[in-house]
Structure formats: C-alpha cells, structure tokens
Chain A
C-alpha cells in the first residue's frame, strides 16, 4: 500500500541514511524491466491514462478561467455558464475515472511484476549451493523473496504512472503558460527551483547527521532486541532496572539525534513545502505591475492566479515519491544480487555408479580465507557405517555437507561409486544421498505429508511402514488426529526427538543408497533416545552410512570411526583399536562416560551438607 508512503517519507523516512552509501536508484527500474513480461503494453496504457487524468483535472481550471474572463469582459450569459460548468464536470469525471482506471491497471502490472520477481528469486534460490543459505540468517532469504519485491509496488503502481503524468502535464502547462505570457509564466514558476534548492540545502545539512542517526538507530534496535531476548535472565538476576536503564539510554540517544537532525533540516527543508504552494505571492505583484504598465489584461492575470497557483501540486506529489526511493532501490539491489549469484554447476549427466562407496581424496575446504579442512581423505564403503567424531568446530559437519554438495571442495575431490559428485547431475546426486539434519525442518502440513515428502508416490501403508521403522508410529497414533495431525504454527508442536524421528521416517521413505546423518541423534529425552536409535538402525541396512555423532555409544560398533581434529583425520579405526591407541578418541570416550554417569551430586549430599553447616 502506498497512498501514504509519500507522506511517510516526508518525515522520519527521509532520515534514512542509506543514501549516504549511494544506493543505485535505477535498480528498481532495471529489475522491473527484466520482469515486465507481457505487461509492458498495459503499463504504457496506465501511464497514458494517468496523463489523460492529470490533464482532465486541469480542464475545470480552464473552464473557470473562461468564466472569469467572460465576467470581467462583461460577456457572461447563461449558456456560457452552463456549457463551461458541463465541461468542468466532464473534466472532473473523466479525470478521476482515468486516474482510477490508470491506478487499477498499474497495480495489476505491479503485482504481476512482483509475482514474477518473486518466482524468479525463489527459482534461482533452488539452483544455488545449499551453503549459500547456511551462511546467512534465514531471514535474508525471506526478505529477498517476500519483502524486497513488495517494495516495487511503489515504483510500478504509483511512481511510474503518477510521475510520468505529473511531469508531462507540468511541462505541457508550463509551455502553454509561456506561450500565453512568458513574463507571467516566469513569475509562476520561479519559486519552484528556489524551493527545490532550499530543500537540497536542508537535506544536505540534515545529512551530516545521517551516520550518527544510523548508529543511534542501530544501537537502539540492538538494545531493544537484547532487552527482550535477555528478559528471563535479567529477571532472574533482579537486574531489570539496569537493563532498562541501558535500553532507555539508547532510546533517548536516538530521540536526541532525531531532534538535532530536525533542527538542522527544518529551517530550509521545511520551507520547501511552504514555498511550493505559495507562488501567488510572486504572481500577484508582478501581474499588477504588468497590468499597470498596460502590457497585461485582467483575464490573463486571473488565468495565472488560478492556474499558476495550482499546477505545481502534482510535482509535490511526485517529489514525495522520491523520498522512499533509497529504500526501494536498496531492496531491488538485494534482489538483483541474489539473481546474479552463480548457480551451482550442474553437469546434468546421469552416470552409472558401480557401487555406493563414498570417497574423500585430499579434500581441502574453507568458508572464508581460512581452510576448515586440510587434506581429508577416507573411504566409506557400501554397507558400512562410517562415524565422524571430534570436538566442536573440528570440521565433522563440514565433511558431511560436502557429500551432498552443500558446498564444493576447494581442492581434492569427493566421489560416490568412483564418480566425482560434481560430474553427476544434481538430480542424481540428490536421489543417491539422503541427508538428515540436526535441526530438523518440518513443513506446516500434516505428519503424513511431511513423511511422504521423502517419496510423493508412497502409499499410506508405505508411509506407515516408514514411520514404524523410524519408531514414530506409536507417538503419532497417540496424537488426536494420528497421521493427519497438522504441524507448525497452528498445529502441534513436537519435541526435538519426535521431530527427528519424523525426519528419519522421511529419509527411510526416500530409500537412498547413501545416508548422511548430521547429529541426527542429538536430542536426548530418556524415552526418545532409544527410539531414535532404533529408527536409525532401520535406515542403515545395506547402505552407505556416514554419521556425525556426539553420543559415542551410538557409534561404538561402526565399521570405521574417524576422529576429526582441526580439519584433519587425527585417528581412524574401530572403537576398540582407538581406545587402545589411548589418543583423542580415548579421551573423548572417557569424558563421555563421565558426563553421562556422574551424579549431579553425591548420593546423600543433603545429609552431608546439613551436618557440615
């Protein structure tokens, strides 16, 4: 919605200092042009209609002027009055009808364009490496698909038709006025550039506070977010007064900057809005002098008084649109950037895999400047379990992510069945690998639909069998609507362990030969843990299984345990061998047993301490 965007812009929005970083003001237009599709004719039509509308709105002004001229000349009669009243009424009706129609059309175009941009952005996202999403907050992607394209409405639905029509009309009327009397036209126009110059200076003066404003705004927002996020802790520690004091200091500092900015901007910037509608103060004295000099007649003076006082107003409207432009431009740039992201290379080749061994050869990989993996090599055989263990940050999950090409290696290669994962079609790779994430994502749909996501053609029996294998069937049946229970915002919330079992059922249904479990057993409820383990056991039979785990007893019997430390495979072997080596794995194992079995406090702590007191 944007009827009022302009007016919003007039105050606080114009504070927005993005302009300081120089947004690309043409970005929205380019983005629009790229996604106009077959709507360009309709947009042109809307702009034409809008121009007609603005012209028509000036017809009553002309009709009134004709009456005034006739009255002054003493030639007024009733037919003249009725004719011109009718013309004026027609002008009003045509003007508003055309404007309404134009806005209707331009909105249709706008929403179509937004629709296309969103679709393009969403489709493009589907072709990016998954690492792209891992690297940034999920809110970013949402913004690029949902929020930023929405801003195009202001440009396409309002900015273009209203802007073009305003300027076209203003130019046409200006030319007309100059043709009638160039001296009076000059008088009618002179305040417009003056006011724009004043506004420019005012904005510049206010602009010196842009950085300070940005900082104060960011500080206040961060303070508010932290104030709310930390509320439980703050309350528990009886520190609400202090955290309130801090947050309110940030709020006060923000108000202070606002005030200083206003004091700098207002004296000149505020004058703009006054002067743009004040041109009668020039027209009248100049006009009277020309009348006195005998070079101007009264009807012409009145034409300028009536028309000159009104015709700059559409410009004001146009100008208001510009205020929000910085915001819109930055949004469009963000979308354009997304669309320009290199999609993941896809060979598109379907290849025959002789088995489903997963092999890493001298794999190097890093997120930024620094490598996270320094030459990792191992072979995970078909039908075997390969476990990745190690301290947090050692690179376990990164290795898992490389199997499914969430990222591509920097050096070395990752292959399945002897074929480099980059050489097979992404479709084929995704069919070959099932990946169960630590933070399970379930769609807000029914449980059945979430499981069936693994295989859309699965029958109800197959869905149920997968749920049973994943040890999810029992708790699903205990829900009010069983498999038809909706999940998500309006639906049931499940515990972490339950969600993981649904995710595992989904993976079972997919029936892929290579399975990667990234800490999929991470959630511990005493009653869940055994069930999740059973579920995973069902997944593994006859497949290549790569599992990242902290709960070491789950991987004790793995065919191969890789102990990862700072991007290297530090130790490898079976559980017993590794314990005998008495290295990193042995230490982890000892810590694990200890953490799991040490009581929170000794058996009869109460009595002991009471005696001690």
Chain B
C-alpha cells in the first residue's frame, strides 16, 4: 500500500448510512404508492426467513442439549422436532418468496418512477444543461444507474438485513444462556465492523480515483482506435503504438495497485471476524470447565458460532454493490438537483416581434466572457446577419435568444418584453431555430414534418415540403411521405435531411427565425435546393442569421460584425464596404477565394490571386 498517495477529498463520498438514507428518500419520492412499505416488507420478510431458519437450529439445540445430557430419544420427541423443522421449512419458503417479491417489485417500481421523474425533470432544464453534458452521461444515469439501484434495493438491501438477522438472534440467545460467552462472541464483531466501515469508505475513495485514472487511460486508447485511419495513412504505427502501449501499461498498473490496496483490508476484515470462532471456543470451553455452563450450552455455543459469523462475512460481497449504487446515486443527484430556469409568475405578452439585445453579457464558464455589453436592435420582419471569426460568439447570440442559456448581464427583449418574463411555450412559439446539425426522429417523413404542428393535414405538410424543395425527392422515396427515416436519417443525403428540417420549420410558421448556416459543404445541386428552401422559410419573418456564405447576406438590412464579444461593426453591406473595416476585409478575402482554384504545375497561383 502506498501510504502517501493523495486521495482526493471528495464530498461525493458518502458513508454507507448516508447512502441508505438517500435511497430511502428516493423511495418516498412518489407519495401514496407505498414503495417504502414494500421495501421495508422486503427487508422484514427476509428477517423472518432468517428467523425461520433459526427455528430449525433452535429445534436442533433443544434436542442436542438433552442428548448431550444423556437423555434417551423417543419417537414423540422426533415427531416434535420434525414438526418444528417442517414449520421452519414452510416459513423459509413463504418468507423468502414474499421478501423477494416485495423487494424486487419495489425496486422495479422505484427505478421506473425515478426514471420518469428524471425524464420529466430533464425536459424542464434549460438546453444549456444538456449541451454542457455528454449525452452519454445522461443516458447512463437513465439506464445502467437505474439498474444499479434496482440491484441495490432488490438484492443488496435484503442481504444486509440477512447478514444481521441471524447473528442478532444467535447473540441474543447466547446472552440469555451465558452473557460472558456472548460477550466473547461480540468482540470480533465489534472489531470487525469499524474495519468494514473504514474499508467501505476507502473503497469508495479508491473507486473514484480508479475510475478517473481508468477513464484517462481509456480515453487514450479510444483516441488510438479513432485515430487509426490517420495513423495508418501517415505510416506511424510505431508512434501510435508507443502512446498506446504506455496507456495500456498505465491501465494495468493502476488496476493492479488498486486491487492490492483493496484486497488487504477486506482479507483483514474477514480474518478479524472469523477469529471470533477460536475466541468463542476458548471462552465457552473455559466457562464449561469452570462449571459455569453445562455441556448443552457449550455445544449450543459451538454449533451456533458459524451461523454468527458467516452471514457477516457475506457483507463483503455487498460492499462493492453498495459503493456502486452510491456512485449511481451521486450521478442521479447531479441531474435532480440541477435548477430549471425560474418561470415568470405572471407571464407577459410581447407587442410585436422586434428583437433587442440590451447590454447583454454572457459567459459559459465564469471568468471567460463570450459576450460583453452586446447591444443591437432587429426591427420586426427585417433581416440581420451576424458574421465574425470562429469563436467570436456568433452562435451564442442565437443560443441566448432561444433561451438555451440566460444572459448574465443586461437583457434580451422580444416585442418589448424580457424573454425571461415570457412563458416558455410562448417564447418557443415565437421562435424557430434552424440548427447546423439536423435532427430527424425515427418515424416517417410525414411525422417528422408534422412534428412542428400537431394535427397538421397531409395538404399542409405537403405545402411545407414543396416550399422547402423537398416534395419532389420525398415522392421518389419508396413510400413517399410514409417512408420511415432510419435512426439519424442515414437513408437520406445531408441536403435532403436539411430540407426536411426546413419544411418542419416552415410548417411551424413562427414569426422569428434564427438560422445557423451549415458550414460543411454538400453537393451543389442539394445546396441550391437548400438555399431555395431557406428563402421560403425566412420570407416576411424577423430573421437573424449566423452567416458563413457572404453572398447570401449581402441584401441584409443589417450586418453585425462580432469580434471579442461585442459588436465591432454594424450597418448595411454598402455602408460597411465603404467603411473599409473588418467586413470589407472578409469580403475581399472571399473575392480572392472565388478567383482561386487548385491548379496543376502549368499555372501560377500568384498571378491569379492579384
């Protein structure tokens, strides 16, 4: 064990008792469903199952004591013992069934309820929350973490109950027969349990570290695999393998170290508890030789000593389950404690669809402002284009207007009303966002377009598709509008997917359109169709567009050049060109790139460029 290894002090580490308390709180989430009752019954019945098993041991002791005292066994006695054993068996059968039924069904219900609660909570959280997280993390919480909780409730919790059930009965019985022997039996438990709690906590800390280091080593391996094409293309297998080998070796070494650090305390716990056996042998033997207890009691104590310790040893296998469940709880809490944006008490109605940014300031990460003191006005039904270098905050303008995040300073208004004072539904009904990344649902083409307006008729959907230049290619699909779109829209080309998403936006008919132009190229025919589709979408709307193709925004009423988080220049194309600032530089660069072409050896680039 490396004593000096620094273990991150983490508030995420809970004690076992805290974890239990948290699970208990979650079980009470759905009032009136009696989940807590079920969980409790699951534990209680498991306890009764132990008691029933204990009954058989009781019968054994009862008869053995008398046999040891030299009594002769009669058939009536055997009959009685058989009856008790039969009751014991029935009790075990019934209670184990009831316990499992209650615990399992409660765990399924709880996980299901919790899943629904999280899903519901997620949709109320601002988009910023979702965009700032790995989607995979959230999926993990809803799937494997829930299964983890199920396992904990259905399996670990009853086993914990069982681990204490039989020992408590045995100890009680021993104390009744002879308290010094009981005391001796208790010594190893008293020493072992703190060791257990300590180990469990240590396991949690090590677990977190192991996870982190593993994640890092894993990330490097993933990178190697993902970069395989590049590694191959550059003939750099040796170099790729070098970093990869190191990552693999790290991974192995960390795993080994962690296991070594964990094995020792666990072995120690097992040994300490089990040393209770020789201790009880000594104590009971001494008491018997002293004449303090009779042979029957001695035999009883010796026979029961294993029933005292082996259930406790079973705790070892529950320990990690508890820790894993705890890690799951932590991840669940990260979602459940996230705040949804405050809803206005009395939502206001916007007067018109003019948009204003008033001294808006915003940062994704505290201390790194993306926008500072951003002010501009977009009159109703005009077109504003936002241009600027990558990372200048262009897309942030759209994100804030759609309330994916809230501004830190200043305010944004639509129709004179702060967007934070509108109801979420109202704001969303005013705005259509056309994202760079098109998202289509699994379902038919019709469903995907009609998504914008529940109850839309076939004619309405077709009109929208026609306006989006999508009708023709849709009619060429095997089942027309009823063609199913594969997961992620894989059976359509990029340009076709864009047009379906534009048809959806057209059908919505919101008065304000936020358009983030796609940067990746598609083939010219598709691009032209997309361009035409966008033209239909934005007609007569208040339009804010983050532009990448300068040629399409020349006619904008207003062009905002964003730089360093504020507006560097603004005005019409002609005015900005005349000003000779950044915009005119961009435009000139474009003109140069227009005249540029990839040429063979015969041509001279320099002469063309000038």
Give the nearest-CB partner of B530 in chain A: A595
Cβ of B237 < 8 Å from any Cβ of A? Answer: yes
Question: Looking at the complex, which of A37-45, A167-175, A271-279 is the stretch in contact with chain B?
Answer: A271-279
Residue from A92, A229, A430 within 8 A of B233 (CB atoms): A430
- Tell me whether A510 and B493 are in contact in the complex, defined as CB-CB below 8 angstroms, given that A230-B439, A233-B435, A251-B119 are known contacts: no
Q: Specify which chain B residues have a CB less than 8 angstroms from the CB of A114 in the assembled complex.
A: 252
CB distance from A102 to the nearest CB of B (A): 10
The docked-state distance in angstroms from the alpha carbon of A72 to that of B318 is: 38
CB distance from A430 to the nearest CB of B (A): 4
Contacts of A583-609 to chain B: CB distance below 8 A:
587-589, 591-592, 594-606, 609
Cβ of B575 < 8 Å from any Cβ of A? Answer: no
Q: Specify which chain A residues have a CB less than 8 angstroms from the CB of B515 in the assembled complex.
A: 600
Contact status A601-B555, CB under 8 Å = yes
Q: Specify which chain B residues have a CB less than 8 angstroms from the CB of A541 in the assembled complex.
A: 601
Contact status B119-A247, CB under 8 Å = yes
The docked-state distance in angstroms from the alpha carbon of A126 to that of B111 is: 43
Contacts of A259-287 to chain B: CB distance below 8 A:
259, 262-263, 266-267, 270-271, 273-274, 277-278, 280-281, 284-285
Cβ of B26 < 8 Å from any Cβ of A? Answer: no
The docked-state distance in angstroms from the alpha carbon of A533 to that of B230 is: 21
CB distance from B435 to the nearest CB of A (A): 6
The docked-state distance in angstroms from the alpha carbon of A527 to that of B107 is: 57
Pairs across A and B, CB under 8 Å, 6 listed: A13-B151, A81-B285, A270-B100, A288-B78, A302-B299, A427-B235
The docked-state distance in angstroms from the alpha carbon of A602 to that of B316 is: 74
Beyond A302-B303, A437-B230, 4 additional pairs, beta carbon < 8 A: A232-B127, A237-B504, A262-B104, A385-B600
Q: Specify which chain B residues have a CB less than 8 angstroms from the CB of A598 in the assembled complex.
A: 531-532, 535, 551-552
- Tell me whether A8 and B82 are in contact in the complex, defined as CB-CB below 8 angstroms, given that A244-B119, A305-B303, A599-B553 are known contacts: no
- Tell me whether A244 and B530 are in contact in the complex, defined as CB-CB below 8 angstroms, given that A133-B228, A262-B108 are known contacts: no
Of listed B142, B233, B435, residue having the most chain A CB within 10 A: B233
Q: Specify which chain B residues have a CB less than 8 angstroms from the CB of A8 in the assembled complex.
A: 151, 155, 321
Contacts of B416-473 to chain A: CB distance below 8 A:
425, 428-429, 431-433, 435, 439, 441-442, 451-452, 454
How would residues 530 to 553 of chain B score, 1 for a CB under 8 Å from any chain A CB and 0 otherwise? 111011001110010101111111
Cβ of A390 < 8 Å from any Cβ of B? Answer: yes
Cβ of A146 < 8 Å from any Cβ of B? Answer: yes
Contacts of A506-536 to chain B: CB distance below 8 A:
506, 510, 519, 521-530, 533-534, 536
The docked-state distance in angstroms from the alpha carbon of A408 to that of B311 is: 62
Contacts of A210-265 to chain B: CB distance below 8 A:
220-222, 224-240, 242-244, 247-248, 251-252, 254-255, 258-259, 262-263
- Tell me whether A104 and B522 are in contact in the complex, defined as CB-CB below 8 angstroms, given that A7-B321, A305-B60, A606-B383 are known contacts: no
Give the nearest-CB partner of A88 in chain B: B278
Contact status A595-B531, CB under 8 Å = yes
Contact status B520-A103, CB under 8 Å = no
Question: Looking at the complex, which of B5-13, B217-225, B344-352 is the stretch in contact with chain A?
Answer: B217-225
Cβ of A291 < 8 Å from any Cβ of B? Answer: yes
The docked-state distance in angstroms from the alpha carbon of A558 to that of B494 is: 26
Contacts of A324-354 to chain B: CB distance below 8 A:
none
Contact status A551-B521, CB under 8 Å = yes
Contact status A277-B53, CB under 8 Å = yes
Cβ of B603 < 8 Å from any Cβ of A? Answer: yes
Cβ of A387 < 8 Å from any Cβ of B? Answer: yes
Of listed A11, A111, A540, residue having the most chain B CB within 10 A: A11
Interface size of A as a range: 35 or more
Q: Specify which chain A residues have a CB less than 8 angstroms from the CB of B576 in the assembled complex.
A: none
Residue from B100, B108, B302, B520 within 8 A of A67 (CB atoms): B302
Q: Specify which chain B residues have a CB less than 8 angstroms from the CB of A383 in the assembled complex.
A: 600-601
Contact status A591-B527, CB under 8 Å = yes
Contact status B100-A130, CB under 8 Å = no
Q: Specify which chain A residues have a CB less than 8 angstroms from the CB of B552 in the assembled complex.
A: 596-600
- Tell me whether A529 and B451 are in contact in the complex, defined as CB-CB below 8 angstroms, given that A125-B225, A271-B96 are known contacts: no
Q: Specify which chain A residues have a CB less than 8 angstroms from the CB of B320 in the assembled complex.
A: 1, 3-4
Residue from B77, B259, B548 within 8 A of A524 (CB atoms): B548
Cβ of A77 < 8 Å from any Cβ of B? Answer: yes
CB distance from A338 to the nearest CB of B (A): 11
Residue from B439, B593, B598 within 8 A of A545 (CB atoms): B598
How would residues 16 to 49 of chain A score, 1 for a CB under 8 Å from any chain B CB and 0 otherwise? 0000000000000000000000000000000000
The docked-state distance in angstroms from the alpha carbon of A556 to that of B227 is: 32
Of listed B59, B108, B316, B433, residue having the most chain A CB within 10 A: B108
Cβ of B366 < 8 Å from any Cβ of A? Answer: no
CB distance from A20 to the nearest CB of B (A): 19
Of listed A11, A236, A603, A612, residue having the most chain B CB within 10 A: A236
Cβ of B236 < 8 Å from any Cβ of A? Answer: yes
Cβ of A391 < 8 Å from any Cβ of B? Answer: yes
Contact status B249-A229, CB under 8 Å = no
Cβ of B191 < 8 Å from any Cβ of A? Answer: no
Residue from A12, A112, A444 within 8 A of B147 (CB atoms): A12
Give the nearest-CB partner of A107 in chain B: B259
Contacts of A551-596 to chain B: CB distance below 8 A:
551-559, 587-589, 591-592, 594-596
Q: Specify which chain B residues have a CB less than 8 angstroms from the CB of A559 in the assembled complex.
A: 600, 602
Cβ of A208 < 8 Å from any Cβ of B? Answer: no
Of listed B60, B494, B535, residue having the most chain A CB within 10 A: B60
Question: Looking at the complex, which of A58-66, A357-365, A369-377, A412-420 is the stretch in contact with chain B?
Answer: A58-66
Contact status A236-B428, CB under 8 Å = yes
Contact status A81-B289, CB under 8 Å = yes
- Tell me whether A430 and B549 are in contact in the complex, defined as CB-CB below 8 angstroms, given that A3-B320, A530-B593, A542-B601 are known contacts: no
CB distance from B585 to the nearest CB of A (A): 8
Residue from B139, B225, B522, B594 within 8 A of A550 (CB atoms): B522
Cβ of B396 < 8 Å from any Cβ of A? Answer: no
Q: Specify which chain A residues have a CB less than 8 angstroms from the CB of B521 in the assembled complex.
A: 519, 521-524, 550-551
Cβ of B411 < 8 Å from any Cβ of A? Answer: no
Size of B's binding interface in residues, CB under 8 A: 201
Contact status A266-B100, CB under 8 Å = yes
Q: Is the interface of B mostly helix, strand, loop or mixed?
A: helix
Contacts of A63-117 to chain B: CB distance below 8 A:
63-64, 67-68, 71-72, 74, 76-78, 80-82, 84-86, 88-89, 92-93, 95-97, 99-100, 103-104, 107-108, 111-112, 114-115
How would residues 107 to 137 of chain A score, 1 for a CB under 8 Å from any chain B CB and 0 otherwise? 1100110110011001101100010011000
Give the nearest-CB partner of B525 in chain A: A591
Q: Specify which chain A residues have a CB less than 8 angstroms from the CB of B586 in the assembled complex.
A: 526-527
Q: Specify which chain A residues have a CB less than 8 angstroms from the CB of B237 in the assembled complex.
A: 126
Cβ of A461 < 8 Å from any Cβ of B? Answer: no
The docked-state distance in angstroms from the alpha carbon of A465 to that of B545 is: 37
Q: Specify which chain A residues have a CB less than 8 angstroms from the CB of B142 in the assembled complex.
A: 224
Residue from A92, A587, A594 within 8 A of B531 (CB atoms): A594
Cβ of B286 < 8 Å from any Cβ of A? Answer: yes
Q: Specify which chain B residues have a CB less than 8 angstroms from the CB of A255 in the assembled complex.
A: 108-109, 111-112
How would residues 226 to 251 of chain B score, 1 for a CB under 8 Å from any chain A CB and 0 otherwise? 11111111111101110011001101
- Tell me whether A67 and B277 are in contact in the complex, defined as CB-CB below 8 angstroms, given that A444-B223, A598-B552 are known contacts: no
Q: Specify which chain B residues have a CB less than 8 angstroms from the CB of A224 in the assembled complex.
A: 119, 139, 142-143
Cβ of A313 < 8 Å from any Cβ of B? Answer: yes
Of listed A227, A302, A601, residue having the most chain B CB within 10 A: A601
Question: Looking at the complex, which of B168-176, B268-276, B476-484 is the stretch in contact with chain A?
Answer: B268-276
Of listed B282, B305, B321, B600, residue having the most chain A CB within 10 A: B600
Ranked 10 nearest A-B pairs via Cβ: A495-B390, A81-B285, A255-B112, A100-B267, A592-B524, A530-B593, A4-B320, A430-B235, A557-B597, A4-B321
Give the nearest-CB partner of A287 in chain B: B60
The docked-state distance in angstroms from the alpha carbon of A271 to that of B100 is: 10
CB distance from B308 to the nearest CB of A (A): 12
CB distance from B540 to the nearest CB of A (A): 4
Q: Specify which chain A residues have a CB less than 8 angstroms from the CB of B241 in the assembled complex.
A: 122-123, 126
The docked-state distance in angstroms from the alpha carbon of A21 to that of B550 is: 57
Q: Specify which chain B residues have a CB less than 8 angstroms from the CB of A235 in the assembled complex.
A: 123, 127, 428
